[in-house]
Structure 1
Amino acid sequence: MEPVTKERLARYISLRKENENRRERLARLESNAELPPMREADGSQHSGSSGDRMARAVEAYLEYQEQIAPLLAANQREMAAIEDAVAALADPLEREVLRLRYMDGEHCRLLSWREVAMAVYEDDEKRFIDAAIRVHRSALESLNRAKNEVD
């Protein structure tokens, strides 16, 4: 298994966001496939074009579902491997710093060192930011040691 490195940790948020976005698109396609036929202004239903629309929507949903299934599974496996490596660290502070920095960010952005320091130390003075960076460095070394023990 590939070692969990800083670069792999940094991909975590992007993988999570990609899975979320693809699942949201799949849900929209599913919703389109489930909508009842559109009514005409006079209140009547016309089955010809709406039935075709429904069939195309179901087909689009099924095709997209099949297309993204391997990608979602691969992303989920990679995320689980990263989560397992972080969870296996003995030091809870190292786990927390890695989780905050790489896994808890919003959108596709890592938490800044200032944000990590605020979450861990409830202070964003330079000395606390530096302390968070030192814990991060130690955590990366711990991940590397754990990888070398497995080899």
Structure 2
Amino acid sequence: MTRDEAKTRLERYTGLRLEVRIRLERLATLQQMDRERPSPCGSRSEEYAREIAPIVQANRREMAEIEAAVAALPDQLERAVLRLRYLEPSKDPRTGKNSIRHTTWKDISAVLMGNTREDGIHACLRFHSNALSHLAASWPEPEK
């Protein structure tokens, strides 16, 4: 696997997590509707649960594979950079709510290096680059 392919796979994590959350929230809404107003035609939530089960399961499986690959990196700073950048949701600075955007390099530097100076950001970028190389070497080639 190339470094670009490893990065692309990491970048998928946010979308996978978001899709699981949205589908499970929709399921909870349908379950609540079924409790409040049962339908004579059958349960809407049960039908939706059957529909989304393979999607949610596949997403969770891929997320677990990504998490395991990051956790297997021997360098703790490389793991931390990838976790902060791709696996943990960033916070919207205006609302404080989780965002789908990747954590900024400035914020990662503040957490890892204790500063937001350019040298701290460059160190984080080096850890990121090394981590991508290590992931690319350890992940199997994607099936085509």
Q: TM-score range by the shorter chain?
A: 0.7 to 0.9
Contact 2:69 2:139 in 1 (8 A): no
Q: Determine the C-alpha separation between the residues in 2 that align with 1:83 and 1:75.
A: 12
Q: Determine the C-alpha separation between the residues in 2 that align with 1:75 and 1:136.
A: 24
Q: Which letter maps to 2:9?
A: R
Larger Rg: 1
Higher helix share: 1
Which residue in 2 is equivalent to 1:48? Answer: none
Contact 1:33 1:57 in 2 (8 A): no
TM-score, scaled relative to structure 2: 0.83
* 1:28-107 correspondence to structure 2 within 5 Å: 28-35=29-36, 53-55=37-39, 59-105=43-89, 106-107=98-99
Unaligned ranges ≥5, structure 1: 36-52
Q: Determine the C-alpha separation between the residues in 2 that align with 1:72 and 1:136.
A: 29
Is 1:26 aligned with 2:30?
A: no
* 1:101-120 correspondence to structure 2 within 5 Å: 101-105=85-89, 106-120=98-112
Relative to structure 1, the CA distance from residue 81 to residue 56 in structure 2 (aligned partners, 3 Å threshold; closer, same or farther) is farther
Q: How many residues align?
A: 130
Relative to structure 1, the CA distance from residue 57 to residue 21 in structure 2 (aligned partners, 3 Å threshold; closer, same or farther) is farther
Q: Determine the C-alpha separation between the residues in 1 that align with 2:20 and 2:11.
A: 16
Contact 1:32 1:57 in 2 (8 A): no
**Pairing partner for 1:133 from 125, 133, 144:** 125
Unaligned ranges ≥5, structure 2: 90-97
Is 1:9 aligned with 2:1?
A: no
Relative to structure 1, the CA distance from residue 19 to residue 71 in structure 2 (aligned partners, 3 Å threshold; closer, same or farther) is same
TM-score, scaled relative to structure 1: 0.79
Q: Determine the C-alpha separation between the residues in 1 that align with 2:77 and 2:35.
A: 48
Which residue in 1 is equivalent to 2:93? Answer: none
The Cα RMSD (Å) is 2.0
Contact 1:29 1:57 in 2 (8 A): no
